[in-house]
């Protein structure tokens, strides 16, 4: 099968939202021998990032992200905000959130159209940011937004008091709601990662599939490393609002009660780009270690006693939880932290529904070696059986075949 992938960023095994398309491309090529073609935006200073994924692609079309001075960015962004057509899609760049139509002055739509016309693809597989470019294609096509984000932005808008920030979240909500209700329904199938996200879009998009994220079970696997006990760990990009909220909430509402029982406990906050509020935590409390960017997350996961996921906002599946479970760590999480993962509480993970329960469960697990071992072993077994990238890719392959069969029926 000949598949065209469209991604807003270069697929990579190392960076957030780019992990999933990387592993899908890799495994569709290696397991099913698909011919993979890729169109992606690229920051020219990071063009070398394509070297890893290029091994699995027959051909790649890179579209450079144009950089402008701040005045040009502001003017064009305002134009995009007020344009119904342009709010259909957007991408993340290092300068913030911009609409891909910002770059159409370089003929992006024409380049994509020509690439498709010059090849005979069986199916198109697009991420959310690129969906607007291929929504009207006559070919079988799948869009993969993963999450129903309009709910998150609406929640932020409702809960924000500062006018300028409130306006920002309103614009984000309108952009995303338009895309998620008017663009996705032009695709043969829309792929999400949780049933909750499916429920949020089911009234607006007729064909929805739930296919969870996976994890590299050979990379994230148990290993013998000296335990830094008692210790807790949270991982994630620490400029992300949901992660910031989770850590600040944990440190103010949960961690103090844990310290009462375990005065020598440590909390590792591991992830790139920590904002000032996160960095200041370690200045106020020496037991909180904020690492910033690390090249390899595994040693920190392996040395910690418990992985905590105290998320209080957001949607979608948490890669960090999949990775911690795969490496055999006991996980204590809020219900939001375990969305999309069919884990049984008190067997595979512990799901805490209140701050008090969260702190109590941490102290119980810290004091019980056998419980920690059982939780970690069960978590690893669940991930290996249901959440490897190979398993996820097989589900995607089945969907690709079904979409093509039904489209041409």
Which domains can be identified in the chain, with CATH numbers?
2-214+389-407 (3.40.50.2000), 231-386 (3.40.50.2000)
Tokens of 139: 């070919």
pTM of the model: 0.84
For the residues 166-188, what does the mean pLDDT come to? Answer: 86
Q: Which of 62-66, 246-250, 251-255, 355-359 has the lowest mean pLDDT?
A: 62-66
Residue pLDDT, tens place only, 64-88:
876 544 445 445 555 555 554 444 4
User: Taking Cα atoms as reference points, which of 76, 26, 31, 95 lies closest to residue 54?
Assistant: 26
- H helices of 82-162, where? 108-117, 131-134, 150-159
The proportion of the chain whose per-residue pLDDT surpasses 90, expressed as a percent, equals 68
Q: What pLDDT score was predicted for residue 88? A: 40
Q: What is the mean pLDDT of the chain?
A: 88
Residues in Cβ contact with 124 at an 8 Å cutoff, skipping those fewer than 6 apart: 3, 4, 6, 116, 134, 137, 139, 140, 141, 142
User: What residues does 6 pair with on adjacent strands?
Assistant: 39, 126
Pull the structure tokens for residue 199.
Answer: 């429920």
Dihedrals phi, psi of 92, to nearest 5 degrees? -100, 130
pLDDT tens per residue across span 331-380: 999 999 999 999 999 999 999 999 999 999 999 999 999 999 999 999 99
């Amino acid at each position: 099968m000949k598949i065209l992938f469209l991604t807003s960023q270069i697929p990579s095994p190392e960076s957030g939202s780019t992990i999933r398309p990387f592993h899908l491309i890799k495994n569709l090529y290696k397991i099913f021998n698909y011919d993979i073609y890729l169109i992606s935006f690229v920051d020219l200073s990071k063009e070398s990032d394509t070297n890893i994924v290029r091994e699995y692609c027959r051909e790649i079309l890179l579209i450079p992200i144009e950089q402008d001075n701040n005045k040009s960015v502001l003017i064009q962004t305002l134009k995009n905000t007020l344009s119904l057509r342009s709010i259909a899609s957007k991408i993340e760049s290092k300068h913030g959130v911009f609409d891909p139509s910002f770059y159409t002055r370089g003929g992006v739509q024409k380049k994509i159209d020509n690439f498709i016309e010059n090849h005979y693809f069986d199916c198109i597989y697009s991420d959310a940011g690129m969906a607007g470019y291929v929504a009207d294609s006559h070919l079988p096509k799948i869009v993969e937004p993963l999450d129903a984000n309009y709910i998150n932005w609406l929640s932020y808008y409702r809960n924000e008091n500062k006018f300028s920030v409130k306006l920002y979240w309103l614009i984000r909500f309108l952009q995303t709601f338009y895309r998620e209700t008017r663009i996705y329904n032009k695709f043969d199938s829309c792929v999400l990662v949780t049933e909750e996200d499916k429920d949020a879009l089911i009234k607006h998009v007729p064909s929805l599939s739930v296919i969870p994220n996976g994890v590299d079970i050979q990379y994230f696997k148990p290993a013998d490393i000296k335990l830094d006990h008692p210790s807790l760990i949270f991982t994630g990009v620490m400029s992300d609002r949901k992660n910031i909220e989770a850590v600040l909430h944990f440190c103010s509402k949960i961690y103090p009660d844990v310290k009462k029982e375990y005065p020598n406990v440590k909390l590792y906050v591991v992830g790139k780009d920590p904002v000032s509020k996160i960095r200041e935590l370690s200045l106020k409390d020496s037991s909180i270690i904020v690492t910033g960017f690390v090249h390899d997350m595994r040693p920190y996961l392996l040395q910690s006693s418990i992985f905590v996921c105290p998320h209080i906002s957001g949607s979608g599946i948490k890669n960090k939880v999949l990775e911690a479970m795969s490496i055999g760590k006991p996980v204590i999480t809020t219900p939001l932290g375990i969305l999309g993962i069919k884990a049984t509480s008190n067997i595979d993970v512990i799901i805490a529904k209140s701050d008090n329960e969260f702190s109590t469960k941490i102290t119980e697990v810290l004091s019980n070696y056998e419980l920690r071992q059982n939780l970690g072993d069960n978590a690893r077994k669940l991930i290996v059986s249901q959440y490897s990238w190979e398993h996820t890719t097989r589900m995607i392959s089945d969907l690709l075949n079904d979409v093509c069969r039904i489209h041409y029926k």
